[in-house]
Structure 1
């Protein structure tokens, strides 16, 4: 479409029918993106593409490269905004429909011979657009998965010198790596001597999960941190025994409270309940209640 009389003819047709074809193209695309892109933005976007199509069909190699680059940028934007592949592809393929409608309306016989080549040209652009969209969408999904991993493996400060790692769901190799990296970074920042890894939210513990826990504990030990695993429920305890899993000298506790009490004791602290005088009330303490505190 860039050489010979055919290329010049389709370029002339696009130029002659610019307003009706462009307006119809904007209308068709707008039906699928209504409410997510303003009409002004859409018109500016498609007007630029229309001009680049004209120049590319006229033999301008620079315009051809700019056209593909512009379509790639639009496709990446659609992927990030959550548009479907169909909604993205129609932004290109609707140009064919708008031109077909104008040909039928005007009954311009010379245009019919150009439609096949023009259709092939637009199809190539559509395929390139879809490939870019798919690649961008995969990257978006990968980024979201990484963000979810980070959010699902928080490391929180439980006490001075004590951090906790509450785990929920399945513990696999990828997640274990995130847990170790996050934990080690936090240990460097807080200089904590103790870490409580709570698996109350882990549905099941098998040999693979146990190995992942051991790796995390060993990584923390290399940083001089003593680890305690909490959340060992009766069902998990039975599974661990049945599978013959051994945690060695790693301290395990049935609950997070027990684990915290253990590490506080190892830190030279103990939790006591301070009685409140009869009849005394405070803005934060109900009558006849006690107050827990740690003593060194």
Structure 2
């Protein structure tokens, strides 16, 4: 263990740890404002992991040393927790950077007036803490991307519900832009629902789709083909005049696919195909 590691480890000893953590929290508050209730406990975990790594001979000059893995895991957990709680990457990084001041103060007291040794210690410690902050920022960004991706998938599922309109008749009301990802979600959800319910007909309502171009039409045709392969049939409703003109101008072939202007018309056709007859009761 080199001199710097010994000095840092000395500052992290259990009898000095409470004071170090308190100074760290005060510095973090001064920089970051409010802190989560678990800040003191989080700081204690970081300090403990740092001390453990240094006792095992972790390289202070390289945070890629495998012996830092336990500390990296603690920092990763803090980053992911902060991302889930809606904190910013700056708030997360500033928290760990705040440990720099109390540790530097401890090194200064130990080295006294030895300017060369003090400068070397300051530089090495600064590099280590900066590496810790960078690691947290990278992990935070990755966690945020995972959260965003998961939320997008959940929104896709929510925005493409498959509802049972009648015995043997399903409907998918489409709202917004229809892209490849959304088409895949619609197809998987609808096909599974057909299997689960044994439905014979599926209505795809595009009333809420703002525009229909060649790509959207291809997505619809793929969905219809998949439905037919499952032994069911499909009706497309919501064909407004503007969309009808666009389909004609683009030369899109919807031959063999039943289309209706409204969901009500599509449901009426579906009921006829499935053998239902609806009559109005005389008053």
TM-score, normalised with respect to structure 1: 0.83
**Residues 228/267 of structure 1: CA separation in 2 closer, same or farther (3 Å cut):** same
RMSD over aligned Cα atoms: 2.4
Q: Which moved more, 1:102-111 or 1:58-67?
A: 102-111
Structure 1 partner of 2:22:
23
**Residues 25/52 of structure 1: CA separation in 2 closer, same or farther (3 Å cut):** same
1:242 equivalent in alignment to 2:249: yes
Q: How big is the shift at 1:43?
A: 1.3
**Larger RCO (CA under 8 A, 6+ residues apart):** 2
1:85 equivalent in alignment to 2:67: no
Q: Which runs of 5+ in 2 are unaligned?
A: 59-65
Q: How big is the shift at 1:106?
A: 10
Contact 1:52–1:63 (CA under 8 A) maintained in structure 2: no
For residues 222 and 54 of structure 2, what CA distance do their matches in structure 1 show?
60
Mapping of residues 247-286 of structure 1, within 5 Å? 247-276=254-283
Q: How big is the shift at 1:17?
A: 5.4
For residues 185 and 84 of structure 2, what CA distance do their matches in structure 1 show?
25
Q: Which runs of 5+ in 1 are unaligned?
A: 277-296
For residues 159 and 33 of structure 1, what CA distance do their matches in structure 2 show?
57
For residues 266 and 56 of structure 1, what CA distance do their matches in structure 2 show?
72
TM-score, normalised with respect to structure 2: 0.87
Q: How big is the shift at 1:212?
A: 0.5
| Secondary structure of 1:118 counterpart | helix
1:73 equivalent in alignment to 2:82: no
1:165 equivalent in alignment to 2:163: no
For residues 263 and 225 of structure 2, what CA distance do their matches in structure 1 show?
20
Q: How big is the shift at 1:49?
A: 1.1
Q: How big is the shift at 1:160?
A: 0.4
Quick check: which has more Rg, 1 or 2? 1
For residues 263 and 201 of structure 1, what CA distance do their matches in structure 2 show?
20
Structure 2 partner of 1:178:
185
For residues 268 and 137 of structure 1, what CA distance do their matches in structure 2 show?
51
| Secondary structure of 2:98 counterpart | helix
Contact 1:20–1:102 (CA under 8 A) maintained in structure 2: no
| Secondary structure of 1:270 counterpart | coil
